[in-house]
A and B are shown apart, each in its own frame.
Chain A
């Protein structure tokens, strides 16, 4: 074996090692980025415009509703009636009263960590959900944190949730379905990370959610 052959072999080995190291670093940084990136829905500028536009429309609707309330608030009879209606509304929103309406149901067949509950609830509210239950347990003002227990169960406001998990959300069923089912949305991300699970999403015309304490 000549010196030139040895030099060539050493050069090729060095190049190979360098390329291998670079590939390894690259792959590591990409996989690290994916952990964070994959928990977010892909939002482009057009989606951003849509979200902000919808947000402003909701604020406009809220202002119109308050304007009506302001008019009635100076009339004693109408004001008392408006207060009762507002109490009803807040009792539904706080989970103290049962809620019914159109929406979506998501069934997930296996164990999930708390972060999936946080992300699913976030996606549902982002898409306009007004009331949400998980395994029949209503999300309420004093019950909204999820904690992963060592045995894979979920602690939720003092109750233990076990798989399979069912998320029920009342709102615009088409908007909710579309948001969850979009490319890069939570259903596709969950399917990517939990390929062995059966995940079902369906629109429902009349959902009924219990109150926090069933009367």
Chain B
């Protein structure tokens, strides 16, 4: 009797395991089947998002080309006007535009190269260049009262923004990726002395020192910074 009871309980246990195994098997199969559809949806959504973002990039480039052409045509008309009018105020306008970064700037300066380290080694986050690193560097450079700054060929204004966007960085609402080339026109000795102030950018300086990121500075006798080619609107300030 006792043996029969033991056999019964063992059978119940075996049956329970078999049922549980079947259920888990069914769930695993269902999961695998459903995951195909879910992945496809996500991939499609991601493709649609990337396509939309790509179209924004293309539109932006078109607008910028259009704006550059319009500015050039206005400039040409004004040059003709200056020949016929004694006091056209064009020189005042030109000086203001140069101060603001709306004209091309040339002169002696500094070229800074900032590249990400090997992200496969050590603390990969420390090897990345963050938007805040660029902001700190630009802020530091601005304390040297420079004539102009550009990052990867994009001219910075006083109101330029540098933000993080996933793995890329947006400068003037344009997506940029490392390596970064920062060109600065101004007093080279003053800029270099400011760059040597490690307290002004402690996080980045630490990573430069331990070679997590690559940082190089070199003087250039003649740098050319392009004019700012984006929008410059006043909608609220009077």
Which of B1-9, B106-114, B136-144, B215-223 sits within the interface?
A: B136-144
A56-B63, A114-B139 known; A99 vs B100 contact (CB < 8 Å): no
Minimum distance in angstroms from B112 CB to a CB of chain A: 15
Q: Which bucket holds chain A's interface residue count?
A: 35 or more
In terms of DSSP, what is the predominant structure of the interface of chain A?
A: helix
Instruction: Check A65 against B233 for contact (C-beta < 8 Å).
Output: yes
Pairwise interchain contact A87-B89, C-beta atoms closer than 8 A: yes
A contact residues around B19 at 8 Å (CB) = none
A190 CB–B CB distance under 8 Å:
no
A43 to chain B, nearest CB (A): 6
Q: Is the CB of B77 within 8 A of A73?
A: yes
Contacts of A171 in B (CB 8 A): 235-237
Determine whether the beta carbon of B131 is less than 8 Å from that of A52. Answer: no
How close is B6's CB to chain A, nearest CB, in angstroms?
31
Bound Cα distance A186, B125 (Å): 22
Most buried by B among A29, A60, A144: A144
Number of A-B contacts (CB under 8 A): 204
* Min CB–CB distance A143 → chain B (angstroms): 8
| B interface secondary structure, majority | helix
B125 touching A59 by the CB < 8 A rule?
no
| Docked complex: B31-75 residues within 8 A CB-CB of A | 49, 52-53, 56-57, 59-60, 63-64, 66-67, 70-71, 73-74
Q: A191 on the interface (CB 8 Å rule)?
A: no
Flag whether A153 is at the interface (Cβ < 8 A). no
Q: Which residues of B contact A60 (CB under 8 A)?
A: 63
Known contacts: A101-B236, A146-B143. The answer to whether A94 contacts B84 by CB under 8 A is no
Q: Considering residues B63, B70, B77, B236, which has the most beta carbons from chain A within 10 angstroms of its beta carbon?
A: B236
With A49-B53, A66-B67 in contact, do A32 and B125 touch (Cβ < 8 Å)? yes
Confirm or deny: A93 has a beta carbon within 8 angstroms of a beta carbon on chain B.
yes
Contact at B67–A63, with CB atoms within 8 Å? Answer: yes
Q: Give A121 to B74 CA distance when docked, in angstroms.
A: 32
Interface size class, chain B: 35 or more
Q: Assess whether A145 is interfacial by the CB under 8 Å rule.
A: yes
Question: Residue of A at shortest CB range from B71?
Answer: A66
Known: A52-B56, A100-B237. A145 touches B63 (CB 8 A): no
The answer on a CB contact under 8 Å between B236 and A115 is no
Structural contact, A145 and B144, CB atoms closer than 8 A? yes
Q: Which of B59, B135, B170, B236 is A172 in contact with, Cβ under 8 Å?
A: B236
Contact (A55, B60) CB under 8 Å given A32-B126, A79-B81: yes
B97 an interface residue at 8 Å Cβ cutoff?
Answer: yes
- Whether B74 contacts A122 by the Cβ 8 Å rule is no
Are B170 and A51 in contact, CB atoms less than 8 angstroms apart? yes
Measured CB to CB, the nearest residue on chain A to B161 is: A126
Beyond A69-B74, A84-B89, A99-B237, 17 extra complex contacts between A and B, CB < 8 Å: A43-B166, A49-B52, A59-B60, A59-B230, A62-B233, A63-B66, A70-B70, A73-B81, A79-B81, A80-B88, A93-B234, A122-B162, A139-B158, A141-B101, A145-B144, A146-B143, A170-B236
B residues neighboring A (CB under 8 Å): 49, 52-53, 56-57, 59-60, 63-64, 66-67, 70-71, 73-74, 77-78, 81, 84-85, 88-90, 92-93, 96-97, 99-102, 123, 125-126, 128, 130-132, 135-136, 139-145, 157-166, 170, 173, 199-200, 203, 230-238
Closest 9 CB pairs of A and B: A145-B142, A145-B143, A59-B63, A62-B231, A55-B173, A73-B77, A66-B70, A40-B164, A52-B56
